[in-house]
């Protein structure tokens, strides 16, 4: 641990804080404002897309229709991406003549990108063509992020609207939200972002792979391709599916410390800004900041623990004469980035359900590996995925208000709207699904030979690897602890189901909450109402997120990283 | 007033003994199933008991020691029993109240009247049937003489009587019940002290007000309230999460080489699921209704009690709530050129038939100060009763046409018959109004004779009370028929937030709808039939027991003491109920942290001895750790019964301060307390050599 390291972490949070308001205000104008920015440029594209898709931009949908649109759109996305992978050998932009992707893997990959998870069971360089990367995967990088933003907007509308504009139960129009987030937010930022990455040294070409001779005289194949364009939206949309197998540790994906810093900031950019947009929608900016603060506290706790844990030597090399002691755990880290940047990157990517990595999480110390795992298991609400973080956190807010709201002697209410049995039912469904699938699939995989045979490590570390995989899938994170061969039929299918359920079974109750809250009567706040915009609420929200997550996963974790930590301290390694 | 209620101590033997019996009866699965959290515990108890039996019958070397399985099973059963006991005690206390109510209804015989008015050809005795009160039907007429008990709820259709309602209200002073007007309702079980009245029964047998109340306080017809249902969903959700966490731990343990026994897993599960709040939830609800009853308020539904906690606006009648009783006449002021005697004479004439307290106070004042005696006017005078539209009353006697009423109303009246309101009178009226008094103008024909000064006396301590409500974020609105200036003066003096002056029933209704339109919940009290629509419209409507049947039916609570100030206490009880639920939920969930630290190391430490540092409480042995957690989990239910029944104390601090306080006590306290409790139990178990 160094002062520079801590400074870097502080600077990172400061930059995220600085862009929250301007980007949030911009998004408010795009989604809820009367006059959208650059009408002659963006507006034209927007209207052209509406005409093309036959969308009536003024017609709002109820939550059920909205959910159906989203599901239908996603379902089609899975099918198309599956087809592209299966047919890639016959399609253009395949200079390496890569064969068709095998069915289970193609299914896993199609689901993975549709759900904004971007779990990669495949090795990109040897599996997918440039066309699959651009038309299949990058398409989802945009649309899955846009869909996430759309769901966040819906629940924000549900909570903040004082009766909808059409007077009834409508919550917005999925197609409009989807097109607007793509046209106004994701595409323009990605465009300039990609140019910046190219300036730093990221690749952008359609060339076949190059074979070179290294200084040592060994032949090596260097992967090529349209990297920068993919990389920009990979970070901005919290997708995280790398163009190369080593993801953001690859010098052509993440060439410089500056690009590394910008990549981390871009992961948090939209999730953080959405809290401001939300505050604006709630007509009380402090509501947004309270949520931001809760996220920031949890983020800071994670990064501090992780950096502290990695700042100490790994127990595995402790006392070994051939290893320089006292440098911290550098195993599995890019020396270009160092400890602080790796710890920060790992925290950010798991907080935000991005899943891009610039270090090997499997090689972290047990405690260091615990942090990314817990970040995911808290439900991806620490800034979280684009949109997904906000809607996840808002469900937690509903839960917090319900548990603690009674303590002020009123039935629970949030932003003046009563939280009743129906909302509780939906919120509990949302909360239930995640541990159900994570623990269910993990227990299954751990109990059967075809599950454990994929493990590289035995004992608690192996348990961590499997638990991490299914947490990452259900949380739509997509990062891998690694050490687990996930490209088997069981894991491809199980993780595919894990991702699908983790995405859509949680989106549906979230949308339903919005639908049931949207036309509720609003009681003006008074002295007697539960304040949800102050420090006390921030603390409460943090506790509820921690307690709901920790209480659920603590037993499983205690058989994984926790026992490993204590065992390592006692000199037992796995 | 509440002397009857206070007699019951928290664990009165007469309640506890039947409650213990009831706790066992409530073990029946179909009864426990209503509470899913406790149902899970009961299934767990059955499971561990079965395991114990198996181990006793066919001992196996790998099984946990039988004393351990037995102890865990017993304490799991205790957990269910304790929860049942909490509910039974709450119900028992309600029943004790209900019995007191029921007792007064028994064995009453009713004198049912066949014809009313009596027919010439049916002699007095033949006109009456003596039947048991329980067979009275709606619409029956009964005769009640002095010394007899009123057989059922009804309405006086003839006569005036003083009635002893102490059986219901605990108030020993008799009240007047008379036909017509707002004091015509009588309640079954009360006793007529003087005179004879004829009552029309207004309810069918088994549906009387008392019957409904008895059902509610006994918990028999209690339905879960909306917030209770929502809370139940949360608890069931958490239970499912923990069920899953515990069940999946078995294969995960197998992978790790840890063989987890069913007893240990059940113990972990029961400790984690929110048994504390799950076991006490229904007791809290019943106790809330019971607390209201102790304050002599009957709620017709639990929903109303919850709504009381949410109230944003209180509509309070000025008279009786803010001011002491009624306005009293304190002086009369003649118009220029009018003799004092003439004014006094007219004022008396206009007030003789006026049975309102104000009217009576005028007669009293004139008698005391001007020695004006009452006079016989029956037959020769035509009385004009007060109406909300004319806002005047008076009488026509021969040539004279005497009126008294609001100054502007009398002014209009005088103008309509060619007279004029003297400016001096208008000025004097302003002066009275500015001082918080009420001026009544007296006129005879077209001539204004002068003013009567009515004065309000604001109750002591009421301003502090309103300040408390302001701190809670509740707005108080005074409702009065007074003119705005008078109302403003009293509002100023009493510290009420706002007032509605010159209120008519329509204006009151409009105000409620306006407030509700702004999203606020409104509470009000009322007694008259004309209050019924507003009582029905308000979210919490407290009808006075002295009020009409219509008012009682329209509201969702009835105050037996007929004390309008009670609204304030009703709100506090509602808030208390919700707070008690919230704090115990928080406490219950916060407890889990310590239980993890007790049980998890105990489960795994055999295979992973390195986990010993997680045993932060340094519990004696794995079995002791698990047993201590289970014992704590059961005992805490018993320890919290008094809190659940009495309710968390409500302090008018404002939400933020209140929340901070509750979080500190029940949140932080809920994390710390079980660490201490489990350690103590563990020390105890070690001391008796059990582990």
How does pLDDT run across B575-616, given as a tens digit for each residue?
A: 999 999 999 999 999 999 899 999 999 999 888 888 888 899
| pLDDT attached to residue B357 | 72
| pLDDT attached to residue A286 | 95
CA atoms within 13 A on the CB side of B156: 28
Cβ-defined contact of A536 to B256 (cutoff 8 Å): no
Task: Give the rounded percent of residues in chain B with a pLDDT score beyond 90.
Answer: 26
Q: Is B616 helix (H, G, I), strand (E, B) or coil?
A: coil
The ipTM value here is 0.92
pLDDT at B6 over 60: no
Closest A-chain CA to B244? A436
A387 within 8 A of A518, measured Cβ to Cβ: no
Report for A303-317, A385-399, B515-529, B602-616: range of highest mean pLDDT: A385-399
Cβ-defined contact of B309 to A446 (cutoff 8 Å): no
Which position has the higher pLDDT, B400 or A193?
Answer: A193
**pLDDT, tens digit, for every residue of A354-368?**
989 999 888 899 999
Find the helix or strand (DSSP H, E) in which A557 lies.
Answer: helix A535-559
Task: Give the rounded percent of residues in chain A with a pLDDT score beyond 90.
Answer: 73
pLDDT at B217 over 70: no
pLDDT at B405 over 90: no
Residues of B in contact with A556 (CB under 8 A): 245, 248-249, 252
pLDDT at B157 over 80: yes
Task: Give the rounded percent of residues in chain B with a pLDDT score beyond 70.
Answer: 91
**pLDDT, tens digit, for every residue of A543-560?**
999 988 888 999 999 999
Q: How far is CA A170 from CA A174, A387, B164, in A?
A: 11, 19, 59
| pLDDT attached to residue B7 | 46
Interface of B with A in 472-511 (CB under 8 A): 472-475
**pLDDT, tens digit, for every residue of B242-289?**
999 999 999 999 999 988 889 999 999 999 999 999 999 989 988 888
| pLDDT attached to residue A27 | 96
Q: How distant is the Cα of B55 from the closest Cα of chain A, in angstroms?
A: 27
Residues of A in contact with B666 (CB under 8 A): 407
CA dist., res. B276 & res. B586, Å (int): 10
CA dist., res. A112 & res. A491, Å (int): 12
Cβ-defined contact of A528 to B519 (cutoff 8 Å): no
Mean pLDDT for A18-31 is 96
Cβ-defined contact of B230 to A424 (cutoff 8 Å): yes
Q: How distant is the Cα of A451 from the closest Cα of chain B, in angstroms?
A: 11
Question: In chain B, how many H helices and how many E strands?
Answer: 24, 22
pLDDT band for B2, please (50, 70, 90 cuts): very low
Residues of A in contact with B589 (CB under 8 A): 403, 547, 551
Closest B-chain CA to A459? B256
Cβ-defined contact of A523 to B312 (cutoff 8 Å): yes
Closest B-chain CA to A520? B519
Positive or negative CA dihedral for B11, B15, B16, B20? Answer: negative
Closest CA to A242 of A336, A109, A145: A109
Mean pLDDT for B491-499 is 88
pLDDT band for A132, please (50, 70, 90 cuts): very high
Report for A165-169, B67-71, B218-222, B498-502: range of highest mean pLDDT: B67-71
**pLDDT, tens digit, for every residue of A40-53?**
899 999 999 999 99
**Bridge partners, B200 (sequence order):** B141, B155
Catalytic residue among B140, B153, B211, B317: B317
Which position has the higher pLDDT, B548 or B413?
Answer: B413
Which stretch of A384-398, A497-511, B96-110, B660-674 has the lowest confidence by average pLDDT?
B96-110
Neighbours of A55 (CB within 10 A): 18
**pLDDT, tens digit, for every residue of B415-474?**
888 888 888 888 888 888 777 777 889 988 888 889 998 887 777 778 888 888 887 788
| pLDDT attached to residue B657 | 86
> A–B: how many Cβ contacts below 8 A?
212
Question: B514 CB contacts (<8 Å, ≥6 apart)?
Answer: none
| pLDDT attached to residue A449 | 92
CA atoms within 13 A on the CB side of B182: 17
Interface of B with A in 3-62 (CB under 8 A): none
Report for A180-189, A482-491, B139-148: range of highest mean pLDDT: A180-189
SS (H, E, C) A205-258: CCCCCEEEECCCCCEEEECCCCHHHHHHHHHHCCCCCCCCCCHHHCCCCCCCHH
Q: Is B600 near chain A, with CB under 8 Å?
A: yes
What is the rounded average pLDDT for all residues in chain B?
A: 84
| pLDDT attached to residue B5 | 42
| pLDDT attached to residue B346 | 86
Residues of B in contact with A432 (CB under 8 A): 237, 240-241
Provide the angle, in degrees to the nearest 10, between the axes of the packed helices A459-474 and A421-447. Answer: 140
Closest A-chain CA to B240? A432
Q: How distant is the Cα of B7 from the closest Cα of chain A, in angstroms?
A: 28
Closest CA to A101 of A118, A89, A92, A91: A89
Which position has the higher pLDDT, B502 or B628?
Answer: B628
pLDDT at B171 over 80: no
Residues of B in contact with A424 (CB under 8 A): 230-231, 233-234, 237
Provide the angle, in degrees to the nearest 10, between the axes of the packed helices B226-255 and A421-447. Answer: 10
**Which candidate from A412, A419, A559 shows the least CB-CB separation from B252?**
A559
Q: Is B255 near chain A, with CB under 8 Å?
A: yes
Q: Is B610 near chain A, with CB under 8 Å?
A: yes
pLDDT band for B494, please (50, 70, 90 cuts): confident
Which position has the higher pLDDT, B481 or B192?
Answer: B192
CA dist., res. B355 & res. B490, Å (int): 24
**pLDDT, tens digit, for every residue of A105-119?**
999 999 999 999 999
Q: Is B592 near chain A, with CB under 8 Å?
A: yes
Which stretch of A366-375, B54-63, B227-236 has the lowest confidence by average pLDDT?
B54-63
Clarify whether B563 is annotated catalytic. no
Cβ-defined contact of A447 to B258 (cutoff 8 Å): no
Residues of A in contact with B230 (CB under 8 A): 402, 412, 419-421, 423-424
What is the rounded average pLDDT for all residues in chain A?
A: 91
**Quick one: how far is CA A385 from the chain centroid?**
3
| pLDDT attached to residue A559 | 92
* Burial of residue A283 (number of CB atoms within 10 Å: 0-12, 13-18, 19+): exposed
**Which candidate from B312, B610, B650 shows the least CB-CB separation from A572?**
B610
pLDDT at B220 over 90: no
Which position has the higher pLDDT, B118 or B274?
Answer: B274
* DSSP secondary structure string for all residues of B507-564: HHHHHHHHHHHTT--EEEEE-SGGGHHHHHHSSEEEEETTS-HHHHHHSSEEETT--T
Residues of A in contact with B663 (CB under 8 A): 404, 407, 536, 540
pLDDT at B4 over 90: no
Query: In terms of residues, how long is chain A?
Result: 574
| pLDDT attached to residue A164 | 45
| pLDDT attached to residue B375 | 72
Residues of B in contact with A459 (CB under 8 A): 256
| pLDDT attached to residue B3 | 39
| pLDDT attached to residue B454 | 84
Report for A310-314, B137-141, B266-270, B530-534: range of highest mean pLDDT: B266-270
B567 within 8 A of B314, measured Cβ to Cβ: yes
**Which candidate from A424, A534, A563 shows the least CB-CB separation from B611?**
A563
- The secondary structure of residue B617, as a DSSP letter, is T
Cβ-defined contact of B233 to A425 (cutoff 8 Å): yes
**pLDDT, tens digit, for every residue of B22-51?**
999 999 998 898 889 999 999 999 999 999
* DSSP secondary structure string for all residues of A171-204: EE-HHHHHHHIIIIIIHHHHHHHHHHHHHHT---
pLDDT band for A85, please (50, 70, 90 cuts): very high
**pLDDT, tens digit, for every residue of A314-338?**
877 776 777 777 778 888 888 888 8
Q: How distant is the Cα of B624 from the closest Cα of chain A, in angstroms?
A: 19
| pLDDT attached to residue A156 | 96
**pLDDT, tens digit, for every residue of B535-549?**
888 888 888 776 667
Which stretch of A249-258, B280-289, B320-329, B394-403 has the lowest confidence by average pLDDT?
B320-329
Site from A411, A429, A465, A548 to mutate, B interface, most B CB atoms within 10 angstroms: A411
């Amino acid at each position: 641990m160094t002062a520079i390291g801590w400074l870097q972490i502080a600077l990172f949070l400061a930059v995220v804080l600085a862009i929250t308001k301007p980007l949030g205000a911009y998004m408010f104008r795009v989604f809820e404002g009367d006059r959208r920015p650059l009408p002659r440029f963006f507006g034209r594209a927007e209207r052209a897309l509406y005409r093309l898709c036959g969308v009536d931009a003024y017609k709002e949908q109820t939550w059920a229709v909205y959910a159906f649109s989203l599901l239908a759109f996603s379902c089609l996305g899975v099918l198309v991406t599956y087809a592209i992978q299966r047919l890639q050998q016959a399609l253009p932009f395949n200079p390496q003549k890569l064969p068709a992707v095998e069915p289970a893997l193609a299914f896993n990959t199609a689901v993975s990108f549709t759900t904004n998870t971007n779990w990669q069971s495949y090795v990109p360089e040897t599996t997918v063509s440039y066309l699959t990367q651009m038309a299949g995967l990058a398409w989802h990088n945009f649309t899955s992020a846009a869909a996430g933003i759309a769901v966040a907007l819906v629940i924000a509308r549900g909570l903040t609207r004082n009766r909808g504009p059409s007077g009834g139960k409508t919550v917005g129009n999925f197609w409009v939200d989807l097109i607007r987030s793509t046209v106004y937010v994701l595409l323009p930022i990605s465009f300039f972002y990609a140019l910046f990455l190219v300036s730093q040294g990221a690749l952008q070409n359609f060339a076949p792979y190059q074979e070179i001779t290294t200084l040592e005289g060994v032949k090596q194949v260097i992967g090529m391709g349209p990297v920068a364009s993919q990389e920009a939206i990979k970070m901005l949309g919290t997708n995280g599916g790398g163009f190369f197998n080593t993801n953001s540790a690859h010098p052509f994906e993440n060439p410089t410390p500056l690009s590394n810093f910008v990549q981390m900031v871009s992961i948090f950019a939209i999730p953080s800004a959405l809290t401001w947009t939300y505050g604006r929608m709630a007509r009380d900016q402090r509501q947004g900041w309270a949520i931001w603060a809760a996220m920031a506290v949890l983020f800071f706790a994670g990064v501090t623990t992780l950096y502290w844990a990695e700042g100490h030597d790994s127990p595995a090399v402790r006392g070994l004469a051939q290893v320089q002691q006292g440098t911290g755990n550098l195993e599995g880290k890019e020396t270009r980035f160092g400890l602080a940047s790796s710890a920060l990157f790992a925290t950010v990517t798991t907080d935000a359900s991005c899943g891009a990595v610039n270090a090997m999480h499997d090689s972290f110390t047990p405690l260091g590996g615990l942090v990314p795992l817990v970040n995911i298991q808290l439900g991806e609400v620490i800034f979280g995925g684009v949109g997904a973080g906000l809607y996840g956190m808002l469900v937690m807010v509903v839960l917090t208000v319900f548990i603690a709201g009674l303590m002020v002697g009123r039935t629970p209410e949030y932003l003046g709207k009563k939280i009743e049995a129906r909302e509780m039912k939906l919120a509990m469904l949302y909360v239930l699904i995640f541990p159900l699938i994570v623990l269910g699939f993990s227990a299954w995989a751990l109990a059967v030979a075809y599950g454990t045979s994929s493990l590289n490590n035995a004992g608690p570390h192996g348990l961590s690897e499997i638990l991490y995989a299914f947490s990452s899938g259900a949380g739509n994170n997509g990062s891998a602890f690694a050490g687990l061969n996930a490209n088997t039929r069981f894991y491809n299918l199980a993780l595919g189901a894990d991702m699908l359920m983790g995405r859509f079974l949680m989106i549906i109750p979230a949308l339903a909450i919005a639908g049931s809250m949207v036309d509720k009567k609003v009681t003006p706040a008074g002295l007697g109402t539960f304040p949800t915009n102050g420090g006390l609420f921030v603390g409460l929200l943090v506790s509820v997120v921690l307690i709901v997550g920790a209480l659920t996963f603590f037993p499983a974790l205690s058989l994984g990283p926790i026992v490993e930590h204590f065992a390592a301290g006692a000199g037992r390694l796995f | 007033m509440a002397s009857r209620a206070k007699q019951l101590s928290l664990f009165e033997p007469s309640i506890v003994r039947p409650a213990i019996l009831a706790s066992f009866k409530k073990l029946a699965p179909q009864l426990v199933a209503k509470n899913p959290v406790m149902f899970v515990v009961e299934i767990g108890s059955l499971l561990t008991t079965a395991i114990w039996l198996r181990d006793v019958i066919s001992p196996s070397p790998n099984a946990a020691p039988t004393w351990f399985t037995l102890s865990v099973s017993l304490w799991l059963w205790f957990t269910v029993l304790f929860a049942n006991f909490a509910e039974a005690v709450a119900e028992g206390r309600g029943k004790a109240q209900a019995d007191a109510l029921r007792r007064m209804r028994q064995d009453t015989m009713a004198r049912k009247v066949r014809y009313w008015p009596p027919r010439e050809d049916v002699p007095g005795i033949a006109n009456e049937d003596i039947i048991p009160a329980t067979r009275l039907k709606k619409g029956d007429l009964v005769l009640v003489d002095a010394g007899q008990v009123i057989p059922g709820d009804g309405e006086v259709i003839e006569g005036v009587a003083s009635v002893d309602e102490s059986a219901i209200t605990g108030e020993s002073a008799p009240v007047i019940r008379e036909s017509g007007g707002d004091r015509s309702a009588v309640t079954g079980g009360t006793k007529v002290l003087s005179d004879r009245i004829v009552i029309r029964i207004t309810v069918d047998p088994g549906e009387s007000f008392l019957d409904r109340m008895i059902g509610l306080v006994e918990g028999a017809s209690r339905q879960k309230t909306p917030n209770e249902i929502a809370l139940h969903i949360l608890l069931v959700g958490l239970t499912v999460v923990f069920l899953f966490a515990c069940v999946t731990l078995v294969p995960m343990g197998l992978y790790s080489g840890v063989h987890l026994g069913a007893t240990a897993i059940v113990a972990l599960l029961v400790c984690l699921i929110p048994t504390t709040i799950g076991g006490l939830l229904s007791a809290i609800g019943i106790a809330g209704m019971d607390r209201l009853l102790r304050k002599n308020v009957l709620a017709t539904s639990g929903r109303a009690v919850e709504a009381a906690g949410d109230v944003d606006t209180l509509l309070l009648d000025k008279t009786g709530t803010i001011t002491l009783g009624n306005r009293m006449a304190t002086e009369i002021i003649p118009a220029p050129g009018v003799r004092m005697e003439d004014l006094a004479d007219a004022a008396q004439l206009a007030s003789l038939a006026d049975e309102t307290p104000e009217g009576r106070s005028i007669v009293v004042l004139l008698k005391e100060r001007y020695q004006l005696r009452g006079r016989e006017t029956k037959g020769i005078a035509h009385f004009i009763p007060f109406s909300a539209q004319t806002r005047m009353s008076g009488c026509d006697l021969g040539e004279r046409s005497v009126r008294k009423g609001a100054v502007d109303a009398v002014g209009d009246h005088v103008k309509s018959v060619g007279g004029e309101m003297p400016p001096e009178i208008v000025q004097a009226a302003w002066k009275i109004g500015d001082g918080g008094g009420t001026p009544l103008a007296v006129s005879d024909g077209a001539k204004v004779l002068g003013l009567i000064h009515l004065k309000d006396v604001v109750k002591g301590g009421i301003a502090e009370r309103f300040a408390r409500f302001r701190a809670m974020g509740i707005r108080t609105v005074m409702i009065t028929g007074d003119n705005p200036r008078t109302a403003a003066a009293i509002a100023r003096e009493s510290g009420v937030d706002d007032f509605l002056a010159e209120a008519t029933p329509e204006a009151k209704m409009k105000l409620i709808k306006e407030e509700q339109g702004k999203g606020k919940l409104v509470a009000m009290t009322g007694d008259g039939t004309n209050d019924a629509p507003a009582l029905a419209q308000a979210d919490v409507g407290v009808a006075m027991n002295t009020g009409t049947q219509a008012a009682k039916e329209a509201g969702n609570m009835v105050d037996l003491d007929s004390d309008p100030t009670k609204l304030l206490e009703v709100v506090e009880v509602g808030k208390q109920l919700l707070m008690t639920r919230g704090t115990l939920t928080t406490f219950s969930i916060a407890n889990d942290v310590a239980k993890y630290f007790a049980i998890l190391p105990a489960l795994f430490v055999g295979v992973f001895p390195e986990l010993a540092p997680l045993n932060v409480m340094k519990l004696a042995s794995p079995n002791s750790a698990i047993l201590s957690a289970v014992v704590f989990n059961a005992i805490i239910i018993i320890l919290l019964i008094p809190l659940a029944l009495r309710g968390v104390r409500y302090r008018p601090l404002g939400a933020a301060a209140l929340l901070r306080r509750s979080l500190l006590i029940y949140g932080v306290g809920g994390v710390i307390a079980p660490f201490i409790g489990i350690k103590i139990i563990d020390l105890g178990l070690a001391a008796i050599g059990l582990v």
